[in-house]
């Protein structure tokens, strides 16, 4: 398309695209400001939490314990998987050596 278009045509096309992009940026900024305004409006209408600070601390402690348990369990699972793969590879290697 551009091979047949002259220099002035290319410049005109670039200017048209620049104008369209400018308009799209304006629309995007307007949408962002509307969304920002809606979000700010929602924050004032939220109810305060009915959970006491002690209950929040308890939940946080339980979450930390659960996270530690999940990490330990994940590590053990990886270790078992690697061991099984290593033993299977060793057995296959021994069988290949024994057959040859």
Contact criterion met (CB below 8 Å) for 47 and 39 = no
Q: What is the pLDDT of residue 100?
A: 80
User: What length does the chain have?
Assistant: 100
Considering the entire predicted model, what is its pTM?
Answer: 0.43
Give the model confidence (pLDDT) of 42-78 as tens digits: 665 555 567 888 888 999 999 999 999 999 999 999 9
Q: What is the pLDDT of residue 52?
A: 85
DSSP string covering 46-97: PPPP---HHHHHHHHHHHHHHHHHHHHHHHHHHHHHHHHHHHHHHHHHHHHH
Question: Can you give the residue ranges of every domain in the chain?
Answer: 1-45, 53-100
Average pLDDT score over residue span 78-88:
97
């Amino acid at each position: 398309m551009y091979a047949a278009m002259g220099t002035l045509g290319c410049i005109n096309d670039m200017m048209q695209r620049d104008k369209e992009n400018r308009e799209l940026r304006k629309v995007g900024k307007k949408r962002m400001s509307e969304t920002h305004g809606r979000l700010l409006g929602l924050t004032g209408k939220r109810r305060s939490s009915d959970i006491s600070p002690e209950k929040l601390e308890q939940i946080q402690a339980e979450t930390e314990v659960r996270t530690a348990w999940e990490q330990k369990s994940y590590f053990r699972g990886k270790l078992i998987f690697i061991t099984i793969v290593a033993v299977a590879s060793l057995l296959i290697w021994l069988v290949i050596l024994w057959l040859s």
